[in-house]
Amino acid sequence: MIANLFKRRESHTGIAAGALSGDPASRILPWATALMAFLAALALAAALAVGDAATRWSAGFGRGLTVQIGASPLAGDDPAARIVAMLTATPGIESVVETPQEEIDRLLAPWLGGLIDLDGLPKPRFLEATLDPGVRIDPAHLEARLRTVDPDAKVDDHEVWAARLSDYARAVSRTALAAALVIGLVSAAGVVAVALARMAIHADTIRLMRLLGATDRWISALIARAALRQGLAGGAVGAGLAMLAVFLVERAATGAEGLLPTPRLAAWHWALLAALPLAAAAVAVISARLAAYMWLRQR
Amino acid sequence: MTVRYGAAPPLFEKLDLVLPDGAFRYLVGPSGAGKSSLLRLILLDGRPESGEVRLFGESTSSVTDVRLAGLRRQVGVVFQDFRLLDGLSLVDNVALPRLIAGADIANSRKEASELLDWVGLGERIAASPTTLSGGERQRAAIARAVIGRPRLIVADEPTGSVDDVMAERLLTLFEELNRQGVAVVFATHSALLIERRPHPTIRLDAGKVEMSGAS
């Protein structure tokens, strides 16, 4: 019974498809599909990861200000507490948190190397202010107020950076998505070319099938059936290799997060990439069937 | 009907031919007289320049692709060059018309095996057509022509590549089918065969059609 489950199920078109096999055109298709699926999967992975990063960056930076103040004085009055108090009292500011020194050290470490003792260096301090939803604060005006307490104080508006970064990331994401779509269209054109070549190569067999009573729909299903199998196989190989490449790139990026933006794929992104062979098969089936049908209608 | 290829003079002009149900007709004539062209018209593989082909009483001038396929399924065909498909086993070659018609696969193969047995190829059902002799291929092609239980069988020089003994055996198969009510158009060059096994004849020559022996 188990063996029967795995037994290849025969179909009418499956048997007849044996008469259209073995031509060079049909041998090219799985490899061409694998290559296209590889490129499409990489482009899609880039689009998804960068698009997701853009959303995260936008959400993470969008509702806040960063206030940079001078290093802790070795002696005397520390202005940080007064700056925090001033910020907290400012209408529209929800909360203020000082970035821990360990976090600043972690961000600086890749740039300064492990040989420098960061503890001995005067380092800037950062206060992260979260704004109430929908509130905008003029950073220049706030900075002028804060400088009455600490002349080194600087205010950085996240929204400006977030908008620029987000715009850039979205542009990259859209370009990658467009590349994936173009690759899909090129794949479809390739499948059409292969289907037409197969029809021409097997023109005598197809003519015979027609004389034996085959409809154009039935014959185009034969061509589409082969394209389905080849699209699935090629798509699985291409998408599988692309997923492996993305995994290796992500693994190589581990530890470099402080230096470079390292977009990562979420679980659903991986699921989408894993479904790419199905999309490749669908493109192959639709393209092959249409090409075959058009060819038959002209004859 | 008028049939013409390109700018050449008409192959047939004012051709008017009726094949009664259950008839057996030899189709004879010199090479180039248009035997194959006439058979192609009967198979609905091409259309006349003027006039129409009526098959089983139905006009085929403006039928849909699906109806055309339906009409063709009622015609069994034996080609001069057999046209068996090398990519399929012998049994699947014979079963192909039934598979195309959407019949059950197991039943189609069973019927194909029985027909191969009938034409003396019961031991070769799994063989590739490439391993068969000319006579064996011809018999397999006849089995394929018969499997769809056609109302009409069109055979283009089915004895052209076999010896006289085999030619008579093949003709016997067609006569047996004809006795079962299937109309047969049997194109041949063999005067000997016609003399030994007489049937009404359609003679094509220089665009003219002559009927002889028919009541």
Complete DSSP assignment for A66-99: EEEEPPPPSSS--THHHHHHHHHHSTTEEEEEEP
Share of chain A above pLDDT 70, in %: 88
Whole-number pLDDT of residue B135 = 84
Distances (CA, A) of A275 to A270, A282, B61: 9, 11, 48
Q: Encode pLDDT of B12-51 as tens digits.
A: 777 778 888 899 999 998 887 888 888 888 888 877 777 8
pLDDT of residue A2: 43
- Hey, what's the torsion of the CAs at A43, A45, A51, A55, to 10 degrees? -170
Q: What are phi and psi of A298, to 5 degrees?
A: -80, -5
Q: Residue A137: what pLDDT?
A: 84
Interchain proximity B100–A15, CB inside 8 Å: no
For B112-121, write each residue's pLDDT tens digit.
999 999 888 9
pLDDT tens by residue, A261-291: 667 788 999 999 999 999 999 999 999 999 9
Catalogue all structural domains in chain A, each as residue range(s) with its CATH number: 13-59+163-297 (no CATH), 62-157 (3.30.70)
Confidence class of residue A242 from pLDDT cuts 50, 70 and 90?
very high
Average pLDDT, chain A: 84
Check whether B130 has a pLDDT greater than 90: yes
Q: Which residue of A has its CA nearest to B108?
A: A12
User: For residue A245, what pLDDT is reported?
Assistant: 94
Task: Tell me which range, A64-68, A75-79, B86-90, is most confidently predicted by mean pLDDT.
Answer: B86-90
Can you tell me the distance from the alpha carbon of A137 to that of A129, in angstroms, rounded to the nearest whole number? 11
Dist. CA A270–CA A52, nearest whole Å? 13
Q: Is A15 at the interface with chain B, CB within 8 A?
A: yes
The answer to whether residue A6 scores a pLDDT higher than 50 is no
Residue A185: its pLDDT value, please? 93
Least confident of A160-174, B88-102, B147-161: A160-174
**Predicted confidence (pLDDT) per residue in A45-54, tens digit:** 999 888 887 7
Long-range pairs for A257-263 at CB < 8 Å and ≥24 separation? A258/A106, A258/A107, A258/A109, A258/A110, A258/A111, A259/A110, A259/A111, A261/A53, A263/A49, A263/A50, A263/A52, A263/A53
Q: For residue A211, which residues of chain B lie inside 8 Å, CB to CB?
A: 43, 45, 72, 77
Contacts A16 to B, Cβ<8 Å: 88, 92, 96, 99-100
| pTM for this predicted structure | 0.74
What does the pLDDT average to over A165-189? 90
Q: Residue A188: its pLDDT value, please?
A: 93
CB–CB contact B83 A20 (8 Å) = no
pLDDT of residue A192: 92
pLDDT of residue A34: 93
Cα–Cα distance measured from residue B25 to residue B211, given in angstroms and rounded to the nearest whole number: 9
Please report the ipTM that was assigned to this predicted complex: 0.88
Name the pLDDT band for B88 (thresholds 50, 70, 90).
very high
The pLDDT, as a whole number, for residue A3 is 46
More confident residue, A107 or A7: A107
Q: What is the pLDDT of residue A226?
A: 85
- Chain B contact present for A16, CB below 8 A: yes
The answer to whether B121 and B69 have CB atoms below 8 angstroms apart is no
pLDDT of residue A35: 94
- Given the DSSP bridges, would you call strands A93-98 and A125-131 parallel, antiparallel or unpaired? antiparallel
Both ends of chain A: CA-CA distance in Å? Answer: 46
